[in-house]
Structure 1
Amino acid sequence: MSSKRATLSLCDLKSKLSKTSIIQKRKSIISKYENDEIISSKIKLSKEKAKKVESKKRDADEEIDNYLDLDEEVINASENIDMERKEAERSPPINSSFLPLPWKGRLGYACLNTYLRDSYPSIFSSRACRIASIVEHRYPLANPNEAEHHTKNRPDKSKTPIFESGQRFVEALCLANVRDIPKMLRWNHKYGIKFMRLSSEMFPFASHAEYGYKLAPFASEALAEAGKVIAELGHRVGTHPGQFTQLGSPRQEVIASAVRDLEYHDELLSLLKLPKQQNADAVMILHMGGTFGDKAATLERFRENYKKLSKSIKQRLVLENDDVSWTVHDLLPICEELNIPLCLDFHHHNINFSSNHLREGTHDIISLFPRIKAIWTQKSIRQKMHYSEPCTNAITARQRRKHNARPNTLPPCPNDMDLMIEAKDKEQAVFELMRIFKLPGWDSFNNIVPYHRSDDNRPPPRISKKKKTNNQILAEIKEFGDEVRFEVEIFREVVPELELGMGGKDNRVYWPLGMEEWLRPRKKK
């Protein structure tokens, strides 16, 4: 009996111990879970606290930055006010009252025709690309049997690249630019403009050290065709290499780049195959560039590098005074020394002039006209000048550098001058002067009709395909009667290619100042 009881007691003890261990295990798990939750909660609270601290710190930093920005703005505003006060106190410009009338010269504009740029299809000569695009187009298309698509059929970089394919891509872009030149020239001729600067962007990266290329032979025929139109119409063209083309730089890589750029522009103009005088008049306008802390040393470097240029480039090269560093008095002596024509820019001269020689304005500079003209005559090149005006209310030199969209007067130049109008509104700025002074061609154009073009093949707006509600149908029946109505696509007469962008039968190509948006269809509200 006692043995049985002892056995039961042992079993009960084991059972109790088993239950106890399970309970303890559960408690341990719960405790661990609770501890994990507590730890997790603490971590979460710690992170939130850290975020708040970081946020406060960031806000404090921003507040400090704002104070610093505010201080900087206050300082800049103060400096601007001082500068404006100083500039406003300067002696007023002494301008000549002479007007070159009756006008017998040619007014021109630079590179882009705003009216043709907004035609459909667009007509312009500065289609550009990135070097990355040239490299990308060395790879074959994903589907070579179909046309390229910007999303559905792109170059496949898993295939083997072919150098010639990338070159063909950029050449196609170049040829599209060149083939629009005759259209721009014929448009200019129709409206009395016979002078235009060709865009340096016509051949993207042509003078690049690694990705550059010669224009011949791929562009020879297209440029010769453009040259035939220039010769036929008796127009003048030229180029203006960019601000980084500097022959006076102390850095050899800059000089090498400048020479390549001049060679490119010279090849472009030479391939036009113009008659002798028109070819001579096709000049390349160049700025001296920086002074690099020493004008005399810069001029000496320019002398040395100029002497190394090809005969063709020397024949075309013309220097222009700028609005920062090089005045007419700085450049005229070296122009006379090296027989380089000087293109007088009136706007630049009014900002940057030699105050120890003359006063601000157009009056005193007239005394230098004979010396400037003599170099042009000696090289048998027809003289040209540049003209633009500062924006209204501009006071400081920095403010005055920005060109007015349309000049309001003519400079006191000879009345047979080729005058390049450098203004944002391009051909419209020329039209403005034509109208103000009733220059030849002023009555050949009319105002555009806002948001409407009759001289392009722009597709009509899409007709909404939304199903009409019963109320809309009833409203139409009430307004138009209960007859059968069909929605048909409106077909416009197709404009012949030669008439695209030419202004239509009423020659509507002039848009009033500030109304460039009238060239495009009205935007949906």
Structure 2
Amino acid sequence: MLGYAAMNRTLREHDPPRRCNRDMRKKTWQRDGIERAAELTEQNFEDLYAILQWNLDHGIYLYRCSSTLVPWNSQFELRELPNYERIASLAESCGDLIEANGMRLTFHPSHWCKLASESTDTVERSVESVEHHGRWLDLLGLPRSPRYGINVHIGAHYGDKAATADRFCKVVDNLPPRARARLVVENDDKESLWSVSELVEEVADEVQIPVTFDYHHHSFSAREHSYREAFALARETWGDVRPVTHYSEPARLHGDFDARPQEHAEHVAAVPAWLRAESDVMIESHGKEESLLRIQT
């Protein structure tokens, strides 16, 4: 199956707009507090259902949900929301739709989520973030499995990769089941950072979490492995769960020669047939669902 991330452009232009990433600034939180957070959360879950139904109607079974599904969740417990019962009911409907139709829903916490940071404060906030994502998946009623992954990067090496990997593994081992059972880790898009082979050897083999193979990122951190070789290494870490992979094409390949090498193109030309045959592929492009529909057949 093919999927896309976060925003559905078609539904974003709907009247009223359908989107599940409503958030608020700190000033708004300080002024309006949990009441406003509750209102936005309810709207986000309502529209998540609409997006999932649209996806189903268009033969799309993989979707990455926004990490602002529950705004400012760090400041309250879900059950403290004044409309919690309504939100829980909406979440249950979303989860039922997903499971009844063999769909997959995943999350990708923000770039600042660094579980291996040398900063205690950063680690605490990062752990809190992945725990919240786990709570949302629990609220949806989805199994604690990497099939419904919470995808993270290590994202740095802090001058000592071995020590960084060790810190990451220790943090992962102490995560609650709602987060640990769903955590997956992705290769990076810089030569100095984390390759698929390094993640397999230093993380997956140690704490038994899957490695997400990012096709475009692999071009920056191949470590002499071909795309197929690196994918095969990552695939083995998923066990009985069909792996999710990420696919994008560089903007430069599509004529934007001023773009950074890492920047994604608006659309993709095609996904390698072997990658589609052996994994569920998340299309990462600015075109979102439009890109997917172009290559779906």
TM-score, length of structure 1 as denominator length: 0.52
Percent identity between matched residues is 29
CA positional deviation for 1:117: 0.2
Map 1:62-81; keep pairs closer than 5 Å: none
1:199 paired to 2:62: no
1:267 paired to 2:267: no
Map 1:77-476; keep pairs closer than 5 Å: 106-137=1-32, 166-207=33-74, 212-216=75-79, 218=84, 219-274=87-142, 276=143, 280-324=146-190, 325-333=193-201, 334-354=203-223, 357-358=224-225, 364-377=226-239, 380-391=240-251, 392-393=254-255, 399-411=260-272, 412-434=274-296, 439=297
Q: Which runs of 5+ in 1 are unaligned?
A: 1-105, 138-165, 359-363, 440-525
After superposition, give the CA deviation of every residue in 1:247-292 in whole Å (9 maximum; x if it has no partner). 1111100110011001100000111113x49x55111000001111
CA contact (8 A) 2:63 2:106 kept: yes
Q: Which runs of 5+ in 2 are unaligned?
A: none
Secondary structure (helix, strand or coil) at the match of 2:151 reads strand
Work out the CA distance in 1 between the residues paired with 2:229 and 2:24. Answer: 46
Work out the CA distance in 1 between the residues paired with 2:26 and 2:151. Answer: 26
AA aligned to 1:216 is R
CA positional deviation for 1:395: 6.4
Cα root mean square deviation, aligned:
1.8
After superposition, give the CA deviation of every residue in 1:430-468 in whole Å (9 maximum; x if it has no partner). 01112xxxx2xxxxxxxxxxxxxxxxxxxxxxxxxxxxx
TM-score, length of structure 2 as denominator length: 0.91
Classify 1:293/1:393 alpha carbon distance in 2 versus 1 (closer, same or farther; 3 Å): farther
AA aligned to 1:301 is R
Secondary structure (helix, strand or coil) at the match of 2:292 reads helix
CA contact (8 A) 2:196 2:230 kept: no
CA contact (8 A) 1:214 1:264 kept: no
Work out the CA distance in 2 between the residues paired with 1:368 and 1:404. Answer: 23
Work out the CA distance in 1 between the residues paired with 2:250 and 2:135. Answer: 34
Work out the CA distance in 2 between the residues paired with 1:330 and 1:264. Answer: 28
AA aligned to 1:107 is L
Secondary structure (helix, strand or coil) at the match of 1:256 reads helix
Work out the CA distance in 2 between the residues paired with 1:417 and 1:171. Answer: 36
CA positional deviation for 1:414: 5.0
CA contact (8 A) 1:109 1:420 kept: yes
Work out the CA distance in 1 between the residues paired with 2:14 and 2:232. Answer: 44
After superposition, give the CA deviation of every residue in 1:458-495 in whole Å (9 maximum; x if it has no partner). xxxxxxxxxxxxxxxxxxxxxxxxxxxxxxxxxxxxxx
CA positional deviation for 1:121: 0.7
1:507 is matched with which residue? Answer: none
Work out the CA distance in 2 between the residues paired with 1:328 and 1:173. Answer: 38
